[in-house]
Chain A
Amino acid sequence: MLLFLVRKTLWAAATLAVASVLVFAALEIVPGDPAQVMLGINATDEAVSALRQDLGLNKPVLERYFSWVLGMLQGDFGKSYTYSVPVNELVADRVTISLPLALLSLFISTAIAIPVGLYAAARRGSLADTGIMALSQIGIAIPNFWFALLLVYFLAIWLQLVPAGGFPGWEAGFLIALKSLLLPAVSLALPQAAILSRVTRSALLETLGEDYIRTARAKGLSRRATIWKHALRNAMIPVLTILGLQFAYLLAGTIIIENVFYLPGLGRLVFQAISLRDLIVVESVVMMLVATIIVINLMVDLAYLWVDPRLRHRQS
């Protein structure tokens, strides 16, 4: 068990290291001088060489890479050129919007999808099952940002139930802030819930076909007890895998959804940075998101350990 834990953690660290090389390398292959790219073609030579100096572009590649990584490990993501503030200050504000948004939508999607998927599987072939499956088939096909636009149109513009967008800030009060995240979270969550409910349903159905389910029935357990005690935990194994993948999608999805709702999160920051050609900010935000995804995947791996005893090494 310890071996599994250590190995998974080491692999996650290695994946992170390779990913950081990829992100770093991407900026290395910028056609032309990064400093020139960032400043635009009208910049003076002095300004460019000053920025080169500032960014440390005159140092050898390896040295720059390691100082970048070391900096990140100490929480120093460098300085944004356009905003003239440390990147971590810029990011710190935005994260308090993007991360709660991703987590909230993950929560909503799981809370809807798993019960619905289990219900459909337990009543396989019934009218409810057919209806749920048809709905989820459509749900999968809906792009979340379009769904968001529809929600805005019907709930905010037509019925005027909620504000169409914007974020009052957490200091305006927890509930008020949460309310403004609710619509974005729902529009992210529902299409994901459609996928997750289908996965849950098919995982449970697959499990119900296993021999040990028949054993449990032969023991005298009712259908319901068999599902709860024997099928559920086994069915959660594939569901966990999808949950891990979904988090990556949700995180990427927040970047798009923030655009629909004018939320000042990481997504807005990144797009501003792209249009201002602030490569340092882009690099840092991408690296942070990638790191989050890798950490989440590691957590999913560890969750397997809890669900599936076959992965725990026998202590002999």
Chain B
Amino acid sequence: MLEIDKLNLTIGETPILKDISLSIEPGKILGIVGESGSGKSMTALSTMQLLPQGSTTSGSIRFNGRELLNADDELMQDMRGDDIAMIFQEPMTALNPVHTIGDQIAEGMMLHESSNKTAALERTRGLLERVGLPVSRFPLTRYPHELSGGQRQRVMIAMACAQKPELLIADEPTTALDVTLQAQILELLRSLVEEQNMGLILISHDLAVVAEMTDELLVMRNGEVVDRGQTEEILHHTNHPYTAQLAQASTHIPERNQPPVLTHLAREGGLAPLISASQLVRDYPTKRQSLFRAGSPFRAVDHVDVTVYPGQTMGLVGESGCGKSTLARMLLALDEPTSGTIQFKETELTNATSEQLTTARKNIQVVFQDPYSSFNPRHKVERLVAEPLYLESGIAESEKRDRAVAALEEVHLPASALDKYPHQFSGGQRQRIAIARALITRPALIIADEPVSALDVSIRAQVLDLLTELRERLGLAYIFISHDLSVVRALCDEVLVMEAGKIVEHGVASDIFDNPQSDAAKMLVEATPNLERALKNRRTATEK
């Protein structure tokens, strides 16, 4: 149906795609997987002929025998949305904020089938029902801002499938969503493929997702296709070294040389907790409901108890908006709890003197998710890494520099990094610098808020190794916040599962993942894509 042959793309002077060839049949799912900058999205946009200005292409893209490359606008406008449809990554911005969802879905029908508005809206109702947005709760007059991310992505799918396209291209359709929503959306896509016998190109950075979903697989790197074949075949045998490397990195578990620190053992051994929060509550005011009624406060964190012992790695998992980050901010003393107490060693943080607070802050440091926004772009690495030394008054500049060098050595970066600016480093290196900054005050606890989620899998594995190594060498305790269970499982001793502000499960990491008790934990475990499980399922399916 779709046949791409030796597609080359240059934007300005930069070559983006080199000799891409692929083909897909009706009813099949083709996965394109690769790390950022591999050219996955550009391949999709080439097919739609929606490339940015200044693009030059060569090769051929044939759809049912018709050449699409450099086809005239009229032909493409007939094709787009009718024969070939596309779903994008960012559901929050992909819908027009000033039009209702009904109008936006019906628009395509009116365009391609010249049906009148009443008929189009009637069919839209059916479509919304089909993607799981029943009209009784989601009338057509809703605006996008009244829907959540997952609901918006369903609207996008309804819009894309409205004309029963022969080919659907989904560019990272679930990357911005929580795992449970991801599972639902993927399931919806799969059933639509079967129902309408359409071809689906699924673009993803997540090997586990494509392993579960696709029939065939294309592995891309730096604008080139490096490996291709039946999904099961190439993931099982992993003949190509890059595919093997990707597969390894995404299932990577750092080696540990010391036994896990478990709460009950620590307690029995008479170990004093490092940090202990009890009955923490944080309320946020909400918008007024109406003129005469104030909004009831939103309880982000609801009577939470957390205890972490020295050297322990505590995982904190839950869907976005469950209160993980609010909890972390309170533990870092960046946000005041509405009620409850936080005790760090002997100090009660909620009514500590500023000296006590300084001591606590030296001991509790933080690593953030986004390595691009965690540094002031105008400061050099020396100043960035040394910033927490503000907590230790009276340090000479030369000593600051020495300590910064030492901290960089801990994370395996050379001293020459000190005089560079953060933009001169890659994402992985930046995350190392962020860890160095956290280490410089020689803390006892590091709170890491999604420290690897913004990184590509191979770099993710390296950072996880580094964190494990530091834990063992420096005796650090971590509170490790993540929505990615595979990462948490790889690193943590114990896990807290959070849902709607409450801790709903607490236990040893492997227990929770192998035998979850609460509904929230069960849902998370089940929805998390897992490469090994996906491959095993496939094998049993083919054997039958």
Binding site for B on A (CB under 8 A): 2-3, 6, 210-212, 214-223, 229-230, 233-234, 307-310, 314
Taken together as a complex, chains A and B put the C-alpha atoms of A2 and B290 apart, in Å, by 8
Q: Which residues of B contact A229 (CB under 8 A)?
A: 99, 107
Segment among B12-20, B82-90, B387-395 that sits at the interface with chain A: B82-90
A234 contacts B96, CB within 8 Å? yes
Q: Which residues of B contact A215 (CB under 8 A)?
A: 88, 94-96, 156, 159
Q: Which residues of A contact B85 (CB under 8 A)?
A: 218-219
Nearest CB in chain A: distance from B131 CB, A: 16
List of 10 A-B pairs having minimum Cβ-Cβ separation, nearest first? A220-B81, A219-B81, A211-B93, A220-B80, A212-B96, A218-B86, A219-B108, A309-B143, A211-B94, A310-B145
Which residues, 467 to 483 on B, are CB-close (under 8 Å) to A? none
A214 contacts B112, CB within 8 Å? no
| Chain A CB within 8 A of B11 CB | no
Nearest CB in chain B: distance from A229 CB, A: 7
For residue B159, which residue of chain A has the nearest CB?
A: A219
Taken together as a complex, chains A and B put the C-alpha atoms of A310 and B145 apart, in Å, by 6
B50 contacts A217, CB within 8 Å? yes
For the residues of A in contact with B, the DSSP-based class is: helix
| Chain A CB within 8 A of B335 CB | no
Nearest CB in chain B: distance from A34 CB, A: 43
| Chain A CB within 8 A of B98 CB | yes
For residue A221, which residue of chain B has the nearest CB?
A: B111
Q: Which residues of B contact A216 (CB under 8 A)?
A: 96, 107
Binding site for A on B (CB under 8 A): 48, 50, 73, 77-82, 85-86, 88, 90, 93-99, 107-108, 111-112, 143, 145-146, 156, 159-160, 288, 290-291
A309 contacts B145, CB within 8 Å? yes
For residue A209, which residue of chain B has the nearest CB?
A: B52
Nearest CB in chain B: distance from A155 CB, A: 43
Q: Which residues of A contact B145 (CB under 8 A)?
A: 309-310
A218 contacts B50, CB within 8 Å? yes
Nearest CB in chain A: distance from B141 CB, A: 10
For residue A310, which residue of chain B has the nearest CB?
A: B145
Given A215-B156, A218-B86, A219-B108: A230 and B80 interface contact (C-beta under 8 Å) = no
Q: Which residues of A contact B290 (CB under 8 A)?
A: 2-3
B97 contacts A310, CB within 8 Å? yes
Q: Which residues of A contact B78 (CB under 8 A)?
A: 220
For residue A213, which residue of chain B has the nearest CB?
A: B96
Q: Which residues of B contact A2 (CB under 8 A)?
A: 290-291
Q: Which residues of B contact A3 (CB under 8 A)?
A: 288, 290-291
Taken together as a complex, chains A and B put the C-alpha atoms of A29 and B77 apart, in Å, by 69
Nearest CB in chain B: distance from A309 CB, A: 5
B86 contacts A234, CB within 8 Å? no
Nearest CB in chain B: distance from A68 CB, A: 31
For residue B79, which residue of chain A has the nearest CB?
A: A220
Other-chain residue from A211, A220, A234 in contact with B98 (beta carbon distance below 8 A): A234
B80 contacts A218, CB within 8 Å? yes
B73 contacts A222, CB within 8 Å? yes
Taken together as a complex, chains A and B put the C-alpha atoms of A262 and B159 apart, in Å, by 61
For residue A2, which residue of chain B has the nearest CB?
A: B291
A211 contacts B82, CB within 8 Å? no
Chain A to chain B contacts (Cβ below 8 Å), 10 pairs? A211-B88, A215-B94, A219-B80, A220-B80, A220-B108, A220-B112, A221-B107, A229-B107, A230-B96, A234-B98
Nearest CB in chain B: distance from A192 CB, A: 26
Taken together as a complex, chains A and B put the C-alpha atoms of A309 and B103 apart, in Å, by 14
Nearest CB in chain A: distance from B295 CB, A: 11
Taken together as a complex, chains A and B put the C-alpha atoms of A222 and B288 apart, in Å, by 42
Nearest CB in chain B: distance from A177 CB, A: 40
B80 contacts A309, CB within 8 Å? no
Nearest CB in chain A: distance from B541 CB, A: 33
A309 contacts B97, CB within 8 Å? yes
For residue A211, which residue of chain B has the nearest CB?
A: B93
A310 contacts B50, CB within 8 Å? no
Apart from A222-B73, A229-B99, list 7 A-B contacts with CB within 8 A.
Answer: A215-B156, A215-B159, A217-B50, A219-B107, A229-B107, A234-B96, A309-B98
A221 contacts B88, CB within 8 Å? no
For residue A236, which residue of chain B has the nearest CB?
A: B98
Nearest CB in chain B: distance from A15 CB, A: 20
A212 contacts B93, CB within 8 Å? yes
Given A211-B93, A219-B159: A314 and B111 interface contact (C-beta under 8 Å) = no
Q: Which residues of A contact B90 (CB under 8 A)?
A: 211
Nearest CB in chain B: distance from A195 CB, A: 24
Nearest CB in chain B: distance from A98 CB, A: 35
Taken together as a complex, chains A and B put the C-alpha atoms of A310 and B142 apart, in Å, by 11
Other-chain residue from B79, B97, B160, B291 in contact with A212 (beta carbon distance below 8 A): B97
Q: Which residues of B contact A221 (CB under 8 A)?
A: 77, 81, 107, 111
A310 contacts B94, CB within 8 Å? no
Taken together as a complex, chains A and B put the C-alpha atoms of A234 and B79 apart, in Å, by 27
